């Protein structure tokens, strides 16, 4: 089928492009193959879409609406497939083609234009946290999911390079790395985590009111998962004269509501905010970096 990938996807993939990466060039062919293999009818490309995948609104042969998601290899589609299969619709969109392994995912269709972010802030946090809790299940036996230690280890190496190149971020990077070491030193019963959870990843559904989409699953400390939710609507927090105190109250409230250690949540929130901030700096998103690093300074 002839189509233009959403500009948002093209821009985001360009930021992390690697030599020999031709996924976008092959995308039209991959779409045709995935659609034919599943006997689907394509309605439209979802725009603006996400930053790491192409999403198509489709209809199955039996007339059921669904979503076809194509994910580049660097975004670990096999890991997302394994997590969705393990959750089996509990807290997350249901996987409809569990036997396929072609880098595409056929998913239950949700209301993609209605995320929990559309709710008032307090209600949005409550609903998002409740959805996240349902995802925290024991990983399957013999799983091959990346661990929190492995993922943050890769991120830590990149952060050290950024600190060496930019003295202004070095103190925050040092604090974030120290927090990571302390957090990993204490044993926590591992759970299967969404990995990139935030309000915009929770969409309205018909089967249940809210379901998560777009996991980059990881196994480990639930506080790591919850940390990304703490900084949701960071631009509003930064704009508020009481943003720092609101952030500290949010850490306390989320930790208590999901029975997560408050200091562990604060530590992972610091690490993840600094990591995202220095990564934004590396790719030239200076405004995003400024917001994230100011937020991290409050922790």
pLDDT digits (tens, 9 = 90+) for 125-174: 999 999 999 999 999 988 899 999 999 999 999 999 887 778 889 999 99
pLDDT at 19 over 50: no
CA–CA separation, 90 vs 36, rounded Å? 29
Residue 99's pLDDT band, with cuts at 50, 70 and 90, is confident
CATH code, residues 114-297: 3.90.1200.10
Give residue limits of the domains in the chain: 7-109, 114-297
Q: Identify the residue with better confidence: 11 or 234.
A: 234
| Per-residue pLDDT tens over the stretch 121-134 | 889 999 999 999 99
Residue 1's pLDDT band, with cuts at 50, 70 and 90, is low
Residue 16's pLDDT band, with cuts at 50, 70 and 90, is low
Residue 20's pLDDT band, with cuts at 50, 70 and 90, is very low
| Per-residue pLDDT tens over the stretch 254-292 | 999 999 999 999 999 999 999 999 999 988 899 999 999
- The confidence score (pLDDT) of residue 2 equals 64
Q: Is residue 141 classed exposed, middle or buried when 0-12, 13-18 and 19+ CB atoms within 10 A define those classes?
A: exposed
For residue 267, the surrounding DSSP H or E stretch is helix 262-282
DSSP 34-80: HHHHHT-EEEEE-SS--SS-EEEEEE-TTS-EEEEEE--GGG-HHHH
Query: For residue 107, what are the β-bridge partners?
Result: 67, 95
| Per-residue pLDDT tens over the stretch 206-242 | 999 999 999 999 999 999 999 999 999 999 999 999 9
- Buried-state track 68-91, b at ≥16 Cβ within 10 A, e below 16: bbbbbeebbbebbbbbbebbebeb
What rounded mean pLDDT belongs to the chain?
A: 92
pLDDT at 180 over 90: yes
7-109 is classed in which CATH architecture?
2-Layer Sandwich (3.30)
């Amino acid at each position: 089928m002839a189509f233009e990938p959403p500009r948002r996807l093209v821009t985001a993939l360009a930021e992390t492009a690697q030599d020999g990466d031709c996924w976008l060039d092959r995308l039209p062919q991959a779409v045709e193959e995935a659609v034919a293999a599943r006997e689907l009818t394509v309605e439209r490309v979802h725009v603006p879409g996400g930053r790491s995948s192409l999403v198509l609104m489709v209809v199955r042969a039996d007339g059921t609406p669904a979503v076809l998601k194509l994910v580049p290899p660097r975004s670990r589609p096999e890991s997302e497939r394994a997590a969705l299969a393990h959750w089996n619709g509990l807290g997350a969109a249901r996987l409809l083609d569990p036997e396929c392994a072609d880098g595409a995912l056929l998913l239950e269709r949700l209301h993609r234009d209605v995320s929990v972010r559309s709710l008032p802030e307090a209600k949005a946090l409550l609903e998002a946290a409740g959805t996240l809790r349902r995802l925290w299940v024991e990983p399957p036996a013999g799983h091959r999911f990346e661990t929190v230690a492995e993922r943050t280890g890769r991120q830590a190496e990149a952060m050290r390079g950024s600190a060496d190149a930019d003295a202004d971020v070095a103190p925050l990077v040092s604090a974030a790395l120290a927090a990571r070491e302390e957090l990993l030193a204490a044993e926590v019963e591992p759970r299967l985590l969404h990995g990139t959870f935030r309000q915009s990843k929770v969409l309205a559904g018909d089967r249940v009111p809210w379901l998560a989409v777009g996991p980059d699953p990881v196994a480990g400390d639930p506080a790591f998962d919850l940390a990304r939710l703490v900084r949701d609507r960071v631009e509003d927090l930064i704009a508020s004269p009481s943003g720092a105190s609101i952030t500290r109250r949010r850490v306390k409230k989320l930790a208590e509501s999901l029975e997560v250690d408050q200091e562990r949540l604060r530590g992972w929130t610091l690490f993840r905010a600094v990591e995202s901030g220095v990564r934004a700096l590396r790719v030239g998103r200076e405004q995003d970096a400024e917001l994230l690093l100011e937020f991290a300074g409050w922790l």
